[in-house]
Structure 1
């Protein structure tokens, strides 16, 4: 971004926001682009565009100052599909199969990272080194060491980095936390967070095969260990294999446990223990547990995580949520709204207050505003916040994998238990190296 463009981005009025995130890109979204000169737009490249990367880009392009100039994906089929969708709206983009080539493009100001989790660290640190601002999907890393390296890269290069924990941009989540902080619930002894995923069915085992035509499987693997291609590990289902992600604990947990920590104004736990397994689908292809209960102990209260695949009937008859359980009442919060259930006559009930905004749209808007202003403190989910909750969720997975109750040594940034510390860093393969923190 040249000097005049930087000055414009720092001083232009607030971004306009659209309403309603859609999978496609209606032509009406781009009518307002004519109000902003092309030279004054924030030029965005998207890396990994099959799922949330595309949703993030779709939301970002509802802001007239954002201009998509490049796409990158290791699957040519996805790349061609998304390029064609943009072309229908008269948006022409450069395309890349290797993200490093995209980062060499001096015409790009900021990037969206929507790759599988095991790629987040390398792409984000390389993007910062290349002088790009970054919107990176959650969880930011696939290990505690990756999270530390990503924070260090942001600090080293001074880039604006937003983590895709979009609930931090929704008003009703902020209102709920304000109510928790008011003290009206009384002493809170337990916070529950949960994700019950009735839609998540068994993943039948499939034989290894050749990668689909157009897929650069070597690039898809990147730093993960070499394995023959298997369709169960590709695209969406990568989430259920340890090489690439951490299951529901890190996929949904970083969203919901984040608000458990915000509500309790908590940092790191004294201890963590977890119990669960593949109870729903013991013989399917997934590695991560489909049923899990994790307990984080703090001074004076506990935070409990639950998840279960194949079941929708979670606590309070909600398939996801956070419950702050106090002596006077319980506040139940989810993506649709929040309410307070009184404990007898100790307090007044608060009827459900519904969500009134679109989190992804508000979150991408916030990122673009900060790209302009260069005020990192205005980010709703800076890399430090993303790292905090990603580390917290990783602790739960590590407790499950070791089968031990673990004790965290905050001053040393590690566990007391040697076996658990083997999981602190992801092992990199194929000539890739973990960035230095």
Structure 2
């Protein structure tokens, strides 16, 4: 098949999918006049920001009017891709100039984690509704500031935890809440990422042409440019993110917490390190086990890179382990495996039930619906949901960094150990300040 035909078929399938989605939309989001459409802009468009925008544009309620990125190469590429679809946009290198545009109703924030707090708080203060990628913040203090900003402005803020919009995840949690598994004393959540290999050490280099590196660094420590820290691999450096604990952990721990109706853990301990690739360029641990103790049960997180063979032969998932049976849930579906006693099942097995929908499409549609209705309680992943799991994930990283078993005081939202409290507030650089919570 030649390239032009392949591109035509891909475009045609996208149009058909978009038409199918439009037919299933609520009446408030169909057959809209251009003046009634929601003008959307995207900040950070190399990875998930672009995926979020692509999903949102399947919905006729959304119109993309602007893009922002500090890498002009990415910015020009994405603007050209939209222009090929007949969508003309304004482009910006500075997100603050984009926020000054009164024609923009909502923004997508798909930048590295260390920028989420500043951009989200600035966006709601500018009167914009926000779809912000997970994890919402790169520290507990940032998370608090983001919740405070949303509550102060009452803007619509959806967090990109799109599993919250998938039917099979909600069905599985309903089963957990039914009590049929018996007493649940342990929940496991894990991410075994076989596709992640060693990141080779590379020398510092000149900033690539078209990249505003100082703006990319923002509040992070000033360092020479290194290609390992830029674009996708920023996830494995503490200055910008929290490794797999915050990259995958917020997705999976979210459902562990939801299934157990859990609030804050009583204690947290973590152990791991760079066991697989001790000499590569990444900073965050490639192997980690974290145990959160709650009243009457534990939640255990574990991750490993370069390995696919996770628990229950799944590379990711959540397992609710009850006295009568275990429910195993992942992005592909869920099932129940009975416990046995004297050779007999303690409960009826539930064969694997497969996913039936596209979480990202439904999640972005939910965001647009709530922008129209202003019924914030209808959001599938409001800022408070994103804040809860992001805080728990950050607790795990803090326990790992300190090497201590930490104890959390729910009343004053601090650790009982000074070493843990020192890591609640991030160190901003280059004249930036953490917003007030």
Q: Please, what TM-score do these two structures have when normalized by structure 2?
A: 0.93
Choose the corresponding residue for 1:285, options 281, 286, 311.
281
Asked if the contact 1:154–1:161 (Cα under 8 Å) also holds between the matched residues in 2, the reply is yes
Are residues 65 and 46 of structure 1, via their aligned partners in 2, closer, same or farther at CA, if it must alter by over 3 Å?
A: same
Choose the corresponding residue for 2:154, options 147, 152, 158.
158
Identify the residue that residue 401 of structure 2 maps to in structure 1: 401
The alpha carbon displacement at 1:416 in A equals 0.4
Q: Distance in 2 between matches of 1:229 and 1:296?
A: 37
Identify the residue that residue 258 of structure 1 maps to in structure 2: 254
Asked if the contact 1:199–1:310 (Cα under 8 Å) also holds between the matched residues in 2, the reply is yes
**Is 2:64 the counterpart of 1:83?**
no
Identify the residue that residue 52 of structure 2 maps to in structure 1: 56
Choose the corresponding residue for 1:337, options 329, 333, 337.
333
**Is 2:57 the counterpart of 1:66?**
no
The gaps in structure 2 that reach 5 residues or longer are 1-9, 23-28
Are residues 77 and 275 of structure 1, via their aligned partners in 2, closer, same or farther at CA, if it must alter by over 3 Å?
A: same
Asked if the contact 1:25–1:89 (Cα under 8 Å) also holds between the matched residues in 2, the reply is no
The alpha carbon displacement at 1:158 in A equals 1.0
Identify the residue that residue 296 of structure 1 maps to in structure 2: 292
Are residues 414 and 25 of structure 1, via their aligned partners in 2, closer, same or farther at CA, if it must alter by over 3 Å?
A: farther
Deviations 1:132-155 (A, max 9, x none): 000000000000000000000001
**Is 2:201 the counterpart of 1:205?**
yes
The gaps in structure 1 that reach 5 residues or longer are 1-21
Choose the corresponding residue for 1:221, options 212, 217, 224.
217
Question: Which runs of structure 2 are paired with 1:129-144 in the superposition (5 Å)?
Answer: 129-144=125-140
Q: Distance in 1 between matches of 2:11 and 2:379?
A: 25
The alpha carbon displacement at 1:328 in A equals 0.2
Asked if the contact 1:27–1:89 (Cα under 8 Å) also holds between the matched residues in 2, the reply is no
Identify the residue that residue 15 of structure 1 maps to in structure 2: none
Are residues 188 and 24 of structure 1, via their aligned partners in 2, closer, same or farther at CA, if it must alter by over 3 Å?
A: farther
Q: Distance in 1 between matches of 2:322 and 2:105?
A: 46
The aligned length equals: 416
Choose the corresponding residue for 1:190, options 180, 186, 189.
186
The alpha carbon displacement at 1:26 in A equals 3.9
Choose the corresponding residue for 2:39, options 33, 37, 43.
43
Q: Secondary structure at the match of 1:305?
A: strand
Choose the corresponding residue for 1:236, options 216, 232, 238.
232
The alpha carbon displacement at 1:35 in A equals 3.8
Give RMSD over aligned pairs. Answer: 1.5
Asked if the contact 2:336–2:352 (Cα under 8 Å) also holds between the matched residues in 1, the reply is yes
Q: Secondary structure at the match of 1:356?
A: coil
Asked if the contact 1:119–1:222 (Cα under 8 Å) also holds between the matched residues in 2, the reply is yes
Identify the residue that residue 348 of structure 1 maps to in structure 2: 348
Asked if the contact 1:24–1:58 (Cα under 8 Å) also holds between the matched residues in 2, the reply is no
Identify the residue that residue 414 of structure 1 maps to in structure 2: 414
Q: Secondary structure at the match of 2:337?
A: strand
Deviations 1:35-82 (A, max 9, x none): 432111000000000000000000000110100000000000100110
Are residues 159 and 23 of structure 1, via their aligned partners in 2, closer, same or farther at CA, if it must alter by over 3 Å?
A: farther
Deviations 1:283-308 (A, max 9, x none): 00000000000000011110000000
Asked if the contact 1:124–1:150 (Cα under 8 Å) also holds between the matched residues in 2, the reply is yes
Q: Distance in 1 between matches of 2:382 and 2:399?
A: 26
Are residues 333 and 98 of structure 1, via their aligned partners in 2, closer, same or farther at CA, if it must alter by over 3 Å?
A: same
Q: Secondary structure at the match of 1:401?
A: helix
**Is 2:428 the counterpart of 1:428?**
yes
Are residues 119 and 311 of structure 1, via their aligned partners in 2, closer, same or farther at CA, if it must alter by over 3 Å?
A: same
Asked if the contact 1:270–1:407 (Cα under 8 Å) also holds between the matched residues in 2, the reply is yes
Deviations 1:165-190 (A, max 9, x none): 00000000000000000000000010
Q: Please, what TM-score do these two structures have when normalized by structure 1?
A: 0.93
Asked if the contact 2:30–2:61 (Cα under 8 Å) also holds between the matched residues in 1, the reply is no
Q: Distance in 2 between matches of 1:147 and 1:243?
A: 16
**Is 2:287 the counterpart of 1:306?**
no
